[in-house]
Structure formats: structure tokens, C-alpha cells
Amino acid sequence: MKTTYMNLDKILDLKKWRNLQDSLALVTKLAIVTVNYKGVPISQHSSVRPFCETMRKNPNTAKLCEKCDARGGLEAVRTNAPYIYLCHWNIVDIAIPIIIDDKYVGAIMAGEVKIKDGDKHPPLEQMLTVPSKGFEQNLNNNEEIQRLYDSIPTLSYTEINDAAQMLYRLCNYIVEEAMNKNLILEVYEKMAPVKEDLSTEDISYGYSLDNIQNIKKELANTVTNAYVKTSINDHLVCKNKVLQPAFDYIYKHKREKISQQKMADLCHISTGYFSRIFPKETGMNFSVFISLKKIEWSKQLLEKTDLSIAQISDELGFNDPGYYIKTFKKYENITPNVYRKYYQEKL
């Protein structure tokens, strides 16, 4: 999809999301805020605790809060799951990653609660060790700060974990639905010309169910027409036997980034001569052939395995998942995730 869709404010209807976030904070008894991949809040802080609000308003203590949020978010990205941890004030927080096409685009930060005394739970990592003077000085020498700290609500670890899992599933569902909507609009722009009888309201605010179903059918046809039925272990026998060593190497070393120079050396010919006879054998130049082959192999992995986009990218020697997605879309007009989704829906 277009890179603009990777911005959370392009994926989520922030006004509706903020209202939902407020409701979720009331139901889960957690404070909640949504941040982008830089850790910058894109929503208001729902049900923020007075103690945390006070700490975040102080420039000195706010830096610790921001650093703690950033580290918690990175741990959630690393595990690709909700991460429950302790902040530098020994308050329980949760980082819920928002990941699209293997790219971290933001997080839902929830928590600002304590675990009930005596409640058994797994050991929680403390993201930061507060400076020796910070915690004790702020609490012991300020009765108001101590009162605000003591007023932080308590929950059982089970309640906290259940809320984290619920928020994670809900977040994934909302983002997936938003991405599907954006995909349909993008595909519609490319594949289905706007009909003259469509009203302004139709174009601005959505499409009928029939229109959406037609778009999905067209997209499915694109996937079907692009699919080449070959095995990932297939092979090519050259008419020009001089090139056979190159093709043998290409098919046996799918994970490598293969250069034309290396292939020419394997065939014991000059690079110039290789570049002239290769298109006669394949109908295309070397770089295009390699890209198309790798995309063809990746489609088979998308269809037949549960490997992630990052794993497939690594398996086929792309520089990074982003480059793989860009190359796939260049030749297939859709992203790998969308290809897999619609292939599976056809089964």
C-alpha cells in the first residue's frame, strides 16, 4: 500500500478511536494512550492517573516516563505481543505494538496500575532504574505526591493480562479492517474507473456492497492471472548450453543476491557477451529475470507456508522486508500480505 497508509492517523479514524479508547479505559480500569512509532502521542491520555499526570508535567521526571515508554514499546515490537512491565516508579504498564507488513508503526500504551498485594505473578522487568534521589525524594518529602502515588488503583495480574490480550486482539482487528478499506479504495482507483452515475456521496464516503464485492473479484482475478504453477524446486534447461551453469547456480542459491558478473564468470564468458545472449534465452534482461523469479518463488512460499514477510524476504535474499514488499508490488500490483489473504480466501 502507499506509504502514507503507514501513518497511524491515515489508518485510524482518530476521532472515533479516541472515543473508543475512553470507553476501553473505563471498562479495563487502565489508563490508555496511543503513540506513533516515535513514541509521540497521537491521542489524548484516557483516564490518566493524577500521579502520572503530575510526573509527565515535570520536565525532569517526564524524560524518564518517555524513555520508559520507548523501551517498553521496543520490547513489545521484539516479541510482537503485549509486553507487561514495571516503569521506574514500580507501576505496571503495558505496551501493545501496532505492526503492519512487519513494520512498527505505533503502540497502545496502557496501565498505570499496581498489582494487588500478595497476588502471584511472573517476574516483571523494570524498564528503568530511577535515580537514587528521585523516587524516595519525590515520595518521602512531598505528602501530596505520596498521596497521589498511594491513590493508584490496584488490579490482579490476571485482570491486567486479560485486558492486555483483549486490547491486542481488538487493535489487530481494527487495523486490519482499516487496511482492507484502504486497500479496496486504492485498488478501485487503479482498476475500476469511476462510473458517471456515482454520486459525490458515494465517492466521498464509501461504496455499495456490490461495488466492494466486484473489486474483490477483480483483485482475486489479478492474483489468479499472475500465479505461475511451478515448484519452488523447479529448474530450467537452457537451449544455449553456455548459460546452463548460471541457471543451475540461480536455482540452487535462491537466498543469494546474485550478480551478472558472477554468472558470466561461471559460464566462462565476458559480462558483455552474457548480457547479449541472456535475453535471447529468457526474453528479458538479467535483473528483471532474477526479480521475477524471486517473486514467483515468494508467491509459492506465501501460498504454502506460514512464514512471515520478513522470513520470506530473508529466504530469498532481499535486502530487507521493505524492499521485498516494494518489488513484489511492482510486479504484482498488490502487497505480499494481500496476495496471501486473497489466495487463502480462494481455497
pLDDT given at position 194 = 41
DSSP bridge pairs for 34: 108
Domains of the chain are 8-181 (3.30.450), 243-345 (1.10.10.60)
The pLDDT mean for the chain works out to: 79
The alpha-helical segments, DSSP class H, found in the chain are: 8-11, 14-28, 50-57, 59-79, 132-140, 143-150, 157-191, 200-205, 209-226, 244-252, 260-266, 271-282, 286-304, 309-315, 321-332, 336-346
Closest of 260, 266, 306 to residue 286, by C-alpha: 260
Q: How many CB atoms lie within 10 A of CB 336?
A: 25
For residue 225, is pLDDT > 50? no
- The pTM for the full model equals 0.53
- Distance CA(279)–CA(256), nearest Å, equals 21
DSSP 3-state assignment of 116?
Answer: coil
Amino acid type, 95: A
The span from the CA of 8 to the CA of 40, in Å, is 11
Assign 153 a pLDDT band (cuts: 50, 70, 90): very high
Q: What is the pLDDT of residues 226-276, one digit of tens each?
A: 333 334 445 677 888 999 999 999 988 888 889 999 999 999 999 889 999
Nearest to 87 by CA among 63, 68, 114: 68
